[in-house]
Structure 1
Amino acid sequence: MTDGKKRSSRNAHDSKPGRDTKRGHAGARQGPRRGKRTKDQFKPAVRSRGAKVRESVARWLRAGHPWIFRDALLRPLDGVEPGALMAVADEDGNHLGYGLFEPEGAVALRMVSHEVDFRWDEDTMLARLRAAKAHRERYVDEGFAGASRLIHADGDGFPGLAVDRYGEFLLVYKYAAAVDAYLDQLLPLLEQEFAPGGIYLQDRTRSVSAEDSQKRPPAAHLAGKAAPPEFEVEEDGLRFLIDVTAPVSPGLFLDLREGRRMLERVAKGKRVLNLFSFTGALALRAVRGGAVDVTNVDAAARSHARCRQNLAASNMDPEACEALTGDVFKHLERFRQRERSFDLVVVDPPPFSTVKGSTFSALEHWNQLAEAIVRVVEPGGEILAVANAASLTEEEFLGAIGEGSQAAGRSARVIAECGLPPDFPVLAAFPEGKYLKVKLLTV
């Protein structure tokens, strides 16, 4: 199972979310706890072409949840253009804000404002862009300024869109058809505020499966000069080769930065097994952190080749890591049979993957993966486990690890954890937005 095919659902915006009545979102049955609402806290703003939602959904919208699911609407929205700005009200006609219409998928409206009088125009976008820029200047340190997220969708007030900086190039991710209604206005503002060498667009409006990742076209060139086939970016003094034209991943997942830093802090003196190793970003941290041995496992030989390139670019021995190609489960079973064990296992699996007829799904198979891992961990050893699927809740994630550990006759305890870095801000009332879960466990 290759990490090279895996990040199709790297964040909450990648997936086509369904209705989940157990979790807090704008399609759920129960809203957040709240105090008593005053009579004129929300002004009536009934519009003939506006959308209406029931009160349980309205409570989540007032709390700041950015999505309205199609089955939460009190009446269908027919004849509306993608990206159209629509007023949203509760059952009594109290104005809740404005959303951008999405013609397909589970999400019907993406909230863009809670104001009574609002214009989704260049002035608004520029103000939000500058606020996002100021946030990064405050919270993003120079150690990774050349590779960071500049716009994180709803967290920065741009529904369905994210923008990453890789060196002098910007990579725009489009997660919703509604983005087409404002992208042309946003592009010159990105050029004005960030002065990139060039801008590329990756279309994520259709969920990526492991099977079709190779069929996807390269990222589209939108503005500026063309990017070279590969170039280097820096993160905390390490160098990584990037391809911003790649169909799925440019080669470095910016959201896992805090997890990489955690690994480097605990790797000293340990034998490390790195599963689903992809381009080796975690492996480089383990090597620099003082690991005595690092073994990478990935289904794609090209991932190991890129890891060696990244090691060399970072002035480390390109052969510092043992490279094993093939299915993770088969390699884990071989380790068990040969009684080969590790002090620290790093595992960042795909939400789904298929390798030679063997299918892995994070929603269904994390317990089996945890069991296989625990069997090759030294007593008192550690696991750095990463879940990046929005649809896998923290409870399900930890429950699967616990179940797998017990099946292997061991117990796992969480001793540290982290999530998204500060350039990936998430609205407080948006639990789906906290898609990344990184747990350090001792076994």
Structure 2
Amino acid sequence: MTIAPAELLAHIPPPSGRRLALRVTPAAQRALRQGHPWLFEQAITDQREPGRPGDLAVIFDDQRRFLAIGLYDPTSVIRVRILHHGAPAAINQAWFAAQLTAAAARRADLPTQGTTGYRLVHGENDGLPGLVIDRYDAILVLKVYTAAWIPHLPTLLAALAEVMTAQGVVLRLSREMRRQPALLYGLEDAMTLAGDLPNPAVRFTENGLCFEADVLRGQKTGFFFDQRENRAAVAGLAAGRRTLNVFAYTGGFSLYAASGGAPEVLSLDISAPALAAAVRNFELNQHLPAVAAATHTVLAADAFDALAALRERRQRFDLVIVDPPALAKQEREIEGAVRAYQRLTRLSVDVLAPAGTLVMASCSSRVSAADFFAAVEQAAAEVDRPLHIFARSGHALDHPIAFAEGAYLKCLFAAVR
């Protein structure tokens, strides 16, 4: 764990005091008037001077009227991430504090529901594009997806301190950001920007269940908060059902199933460290009678291979949960992702007991909800295990969707005939 000294943040060059003026295509003008948060490189028709990452760019229409202001990033095809539409605004600490206050207000009820781990800022959908802030009880984790945020970090941290008290603030960087060290001014992934992080394994609660997440090395920021409501739904389905959790990661769905009365739970994931964390999460909840009574086993293996092996051994489960990682991050990967979802469906229904229940999710934004649901239904029908989908779900309240491209999560709950 590395702690960023105060002087390191002080040495980050501030954004230029001079704002970039941009003209854009008619199509881009229409999109910005409708509130879209991105301006792409090819949409810029006039730019009189170059800009640095983090410079504020003001976008005008053909009549030189203000359209929007945002963060400029010359290293990204998303050249400007829009902060404010419609009328001029001063982008400063007070502006950031107002955005953070509004985001916190939208999540204000979660702690009253036994949840101290959740997404505080969901990027573009909370008006702060290219930035995610996850709360793990007293620890906040900032995930930065564009170099445009680096010059604004000192101001953002000051605004964050106004809005929420935290023991520590941790910086996580996207893979693309980690490939641009010259733009980071000494900042590193997993660095503590403010306060203190006594232990990278941070505890928090979700619907009253206790979890532990590694906020320095875990995927994303350490945990997948977006599935909270789907996990709760699984708890309501699990009583008396032998459960298989595929792509289990640190056992979120598994623990919920046990808490809901599943007598046996098998967590399957290719990552042995993730499964060790799943075991630890079960240990943290042994005070709950249902969790203590459940038999929890783990299997470190490739999901496709393991499902096929379970089928060959004629092992059957009453509840199967399939929550794979994003399978289509680019347009050219969509077709392969759909085939993978179908293959996973066929393998999963083959290990389901008669009248079993399938819970299957997709976090691939490039695969539409309609295409995902259709692919799963078709694959199940092809192996003579037709589905009766009794529930579909999308995003939880701490993962709001403000524009079409921001929607990614979809989940189905189905009885298998």
Choose the corresponding residue for 1:180, options 132, 150, 163.
150
The secondary structure found in structure 2 opposite 1:435 is: coil
TM-score norm. by structure 2 comes to: 0.84
- What amino acid does structure 2 have at the position aligned with 1:393? S
Q: Which residue of 2 aligns with 1:162?
A: 132
Q: Which residue of 2 aligns with 1:33?
A: none
User: 5+ unaligned residues in a row in structure 1: which ranges?
Assistant: 1-46, 210-216, 354-359
Q: Which residue of 2 aligns with 1:375?
A: 350
**Contact map agreement 1:218 1:247 (CA 8 A) in 2:** no
Choose the corresponding residue for 1:242, options 213, 217, 232.
213
Distance 1:91 1:413 in 2: 53
- What amino acid does structure 2 have at the position aligned with 1:102? D
Q: Which moved more, 1:402-411 or 1:175-184?
A: 402-411
- What amino acid does structure 1 have at the position aligned with 2:194? A
Q: Which residue of 2 aligns with 1:79?
A: 50
Distance 2:214 2:204 in 1: 10
Number of corresponding residues: 381
The reply to whether residue 200 of structure 1 matches residue 170 of structure 2 is yes
Q: Which moved more, 1:382-391 or 1:54-63?
A: 54-63
- What amino acid does structure 2 have at the position aligned with 1:90? D
Choose the corresponding residue for 2:394, options 403, 415, 419.
419
Distance 2:23 2:230 in 1: 41
**Contact map agreement 2:21 2:47 (CA 8 A) in 1:** no
- What amino acid does structure 2 have at the position aligned with 1:280? G
The secondary structure found in structure 1 opposite 2:86 is: coil
Distance 1:92 1:205 in 2: 40
Deviation track 1:234-285 (CA, whole Å, cap 9, x = no partner) reads 1112111122222534543111111111111111121211101111111010
User: 1:192 Cα deviation (Å)?
Assistant: 2.9
Q: Which moved more, 1:243-252 or 1:168-177?
A: 243-252
- What amino acid does structure 2 have at the position aligned with 1:293? E
- Tell me: CA distance 1:126–1:204, structure 2 relative to 1, closer, same or farther (3 Å): same
Q: Which residue of 2 aligns with 1:131?
A: 102
Q: CA RMSD in A?
A: 2.6
Distance 1:205 1:368 in 2: 29
**Contact map agreement 1:274 1:345 (CA 8 A) in 2:** yes
TM-score norm. by structure 1 comes to: 0.79
User: 1:166 Cα deviation (Å)?
Assistant: 0.8
Distance 1:288 1:201 in 2: 33
**Contact map agreement 2:144 2:174 (CA 8 A) in 1:** yes
The reply to whether residue 189 of structure 1 matches residue 159 of structure 2 is yes
Q: Which residue of 2 aligns with 1:260?
A: 231
- Tell me: CA distance 1:53–1:205, structure 2 relative to 1, closer, same or farther (3 Å): farther
Q: Which residue of 2 aligns with 1:118?
A: 89
- Tell me: CA distance 1:144–1:431, structure 2 relative to 1, closer, same or farther (3 Å): farther
User: 1:318 Cα deviation (Å)?
Assistant: 9.0
Choose the corresponding residue for 2:309, options 334, 354, 372.
334
Matches within 5 A, 1:10-21: none
User: 5+ unaligned residues in a row in structure 2: which ranges?
Assistant: 1-17, 180-187, 329-334
Q: Which residue of 2 aligns with 1:408?
A: 383
- Tell me: CA distance 1:363–1:171, structure 2 relative to 1, closer, same or farther (3 Å): farther
Q: Which has the higher contact order (CA 8 A, sep 6+)?
A: 1
The secondary structure found in structure 2 opposite 1:421 is: coil
- Tell me: CA distance 1:208–1:347, structure 2 relative to 1, closer, same or farther (3 Å): farther
- What amino acid does structure 1 have at the position aligned with 2:299? L
Distance 2:118 2:82 in 1: 25
Distance 2:296 2:175 in 1: 36
Percent identity over paired residues:
31
Distance 2:383 2:60 in 1: 52
Distance 2:293 2:154 in 1: 43
**Contact map agreement 2:246 2:303 (CA 8 A) in 1:** yes
**Contact map agreement 2:59 2:66 (CA 8 A) in 1:** yes
Distance 2:229 2:155 in 1: 33
- Tell me: CA distance 1:288–1:145, structure 2 relative to 1, closer, same or farther (3 Å): closer
Deviation track 1:281-326 (CA, whole Å, cap 9, x = no partner) reads 1101001111232111111222222222111111233972122221
- What amino acid does structure 2 have at the position aligned with 1:72? A
Distance 1:318 1:230 in 2: 26
- Tell me: CA distance 1:265–1:48, structure 2 relative to 1, closer, same or farther (3 Å): closer
Q: Which residue of 2 aligns with 1:153?
A: 123
Distance 2:268 2:175 in 1: 30
- What amino acid does structure 1 have at the position aligned with 2:23? K
- What amino acid does structure 1 have at the position aligned with 2:246? L
Q: Which residue of 2 aligns with 1:432?
A: 405
- Tell me: CA distance 1:318–1:301, structure 2 relative to 1, closer, same or farther (3 Å): farther
